[in-house]
């Protein structure tokens, strides 16, 4: 099996296609409403990864004709400060979608994110994290589904990878990715298993998957022994590696990625070890895989929320 390379799934290209599909809807909404769809993004503190994600969300939204209103709060803000911003966006006429970037500063407390998601108007909840939207997703009648897992479904569909009747294994049980990913795959008639850090015989379970989704947040965790030859492997991980030995073990001593590390002092790695490329039938790269899809789906959800608020569907 070594030496043969699985197909690389181009998240960048699929994201561009989704954005192109959204564009006419944005134009139609804008001429009908006399204003563009509006998206409020709230960023608390200065988490470096969140800074980059939010910058990309602002840029991509703006380029697609969405009005993006970035609200920043200092890392010292209280949960009440944050809830006040959310409540203001909830009642605003111009904001159709609201997104509060996670994670929140630890000082806000362990349940801060859930309190925030509980407060966002479900009709403006473009992340799909409000319990009403989670419930609708579980019942198979979501209006707004979480962006990363719905982006993965779009990627599979647009890459002609069948879902129905396939066995899907998800590693990771987060509310943001793992759990909603399971629901979306289930709705498409996959047979689904959710694994996590305490799953027994994890490689054995994973290696039965036709579709393997890695969303655990540990660089290179998914090695060859987790993967059935020919499986579609979706790497949701975006991990910053700043230890050189780890970078060498992931990318080898003479790779361009290691040269990146030596230039910058760190490198981004997925949850899937690069050696899996030799065994997977299809694989998403990191970066350039799932990341761009999340943002494209955010724009799609923003347009859907805006249209629904104007009395559309
Ligand atoms: N942090 C990581 N992924 C996400 C996401 O999809 N939405 C929000 N709000 N925060 C995130």
pLDDT tens, position by position, for the chain (313 residues)? Answer: 445 678 999 999 999 999 999 999 999 999 999 999 999 999 999 999 999 999 999 999 999 999 999 999 999 999 999 999 999 999 999 999 999 999 999 999 999 999 999 999 999 999 999 999 999 999 999 999 999 999 999 999 999 999 999 999 999 999 999 999 999 999 999 999 999 999 999 999 999 999 999 999 999 999 999 999 999 999 999 999 999 999 999 999 999 999 999 999 999 999 999 999 999 999 999 999 999 999 999 999 999 999 999 986 5
Examine the domain organization and report whether 259 and 177 are in the same domain. Answer: yes
Neighbours of 197 (CB within 10 A): 11
Could you tell me if residue 19 is inside a domain? no
The pLDDT value given to residue 72 = 98
Atom of ligand 1 nearest to the CA of 148: 6
Query: What is the pTM for the complete model shown?
Result: 0.97
* Distant-in-sequence, close-in-space partners of 110: CB < 8 Å, separation ≥ 6: none
Q: Is residue 21 part of a domain?
A: no
41 lines ligand 1 (CB under 6 A): no
Indicate whether residue 43 lines ligand 1 (CB < 6 A). no
Q: Beginning with the edge strand found earlier in the chain, give each strand of the sheet holding 232-235 in spatial order.
A: 7-8, 282-283, 232-235, 211-214, 167-171, 191-195
214 in Cβ contact with 272 (< 8 Å): yes
Q: Which residue has the tokens 């694994």?
A: 195
Closest ligand 1 atom, residue 50 Cα: 1
Distance from C-alpha of 74 to C-alpha of 289, rounded to nearest angstrom:
31
- Structure token digits, residue 102: 């996670």
Q: For the chain, what is the radius of gyration of the CA atoms?
A: 20
Q: Quick one: 150 and 277 in the same domain?
A: yes
Residues 264 and 168 in one domain: yes
Helix then strand count (H, E) for the chain reads 11, 11
Distance in angstroms between the alpha carbons of the first and the last residue of the chain: 49
Residue 277 maps to a domain = yes
Give me the number of domains the chain comprises.
Answer: 2
Q: Are residues 194 and 83 in the same domain?
A: no
Domain match, 150 and 259 both = yes
Atom 4, ligand 1: residue with shortest CA distance = 102
CB atoms within 10 A of CB 311: 6
For residue 284, give the CATH number of its domain: 3.40.50.720
What phi and psi values does residue 88 have, to the nearest 5 degrees? -65, -45
* Tokens at 223, concatenated: 């090695």
CATH number at residue 49: 3.40.50.10860
Cβ neighbours for 249, distance < 8 A, ≥ 6 positions apart: 220
| Ligand 1: centre distance to CA 53 (Å) | 9
128 found inside a domain: no
CA distance 165 to 213: 16
Q: Ligand 1 centroid vs 31 CA: distance in angstroms?
A: 30
Is there a domain that residue 11 lies in?
A: no
What is the set of active-site residues?
A: 57, 101, 127
CA–centroid distance, 303 to ligand 1, in Å, is 18
Q: Report the largest interatomic distance among the alpha carbons of the chain, rounded to a whole angstrom.
A: 58
How far apart are the CA of 127 and the centre of ligand 1, in A?
7
Question: Do 89 and 218 share a domain, yes or no?
Answer: no
| Ligand 1 near 294 CB (within 6 A) | yes
Which numbered atom of ligand 1 lies nearest the CA of 147? Answer: 6
Residue 160: partners with Cβ closer than 8 Å, 6 or more residues away: none
Residue 300 lies in a domain: no
């Amino acid at each position: 099996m070594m030496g043969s390379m699985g197909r690389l799934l181009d998240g960048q290209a699929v994201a561009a296609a989704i954005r192109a599909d959204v564009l006419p809807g944005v134009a139609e909404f804008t001429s009908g409403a006399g204003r563009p769809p509006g998206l409020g993004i709230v960023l608390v503190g200065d988490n470096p990864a969140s800074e980059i994600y939010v910058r990309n969300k602002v840029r991509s939204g703006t380029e697609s004709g969405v009005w993006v209103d970035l609200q920043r709060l200092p890392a010292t803000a209280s949960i009440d400060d944050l809830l006040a911003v959310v409540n203001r966006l909830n009642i605003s006429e111009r904001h159709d979608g609201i997104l509060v970037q996670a994670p929140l500063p630890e000082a806000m407390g362990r349940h801060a994110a859930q309190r925030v998601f509980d407060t966002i108007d479900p009709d403006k909840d473009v992340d799909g994290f409000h319990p009403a939207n989670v419930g609708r997703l579980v019942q198979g009648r979501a209006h707004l589904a979480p962006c990363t897992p719905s982006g993965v479904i779009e990627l599979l569909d647009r890459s002609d990878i069948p879902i129905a009747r396939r066995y899907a294994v998800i590693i990771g049980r987060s509310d943001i990715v793992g759990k909603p990913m399971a629901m979306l795959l289930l709705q498409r008639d996959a047979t689904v298993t959710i694994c996590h850090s305490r799953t027994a015989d994890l490689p054995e379970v994973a290696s039965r998957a036709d579709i393997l989704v890695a969303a655990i947040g540990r660089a290179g965790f998914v090695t060859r022994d987790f993967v059935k030859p020919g499986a579609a492997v979706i790497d949701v991980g975006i991990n910053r590696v700043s230890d050189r030995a780890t970078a060498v073990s992931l990318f080898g001593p003479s790779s361009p990625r290691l040269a990146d590390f030596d230039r910058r002092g760190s490198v981004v790695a997925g949850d899937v070890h690069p050696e899996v490329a030799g065994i997977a039938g299809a694989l998403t790269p990191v970066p350039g895989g799932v990341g761009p899809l999340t943002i494209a789906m955010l724009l799609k959800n923003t347009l859907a929320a805006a249209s629904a608020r104007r009395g559309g569907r």
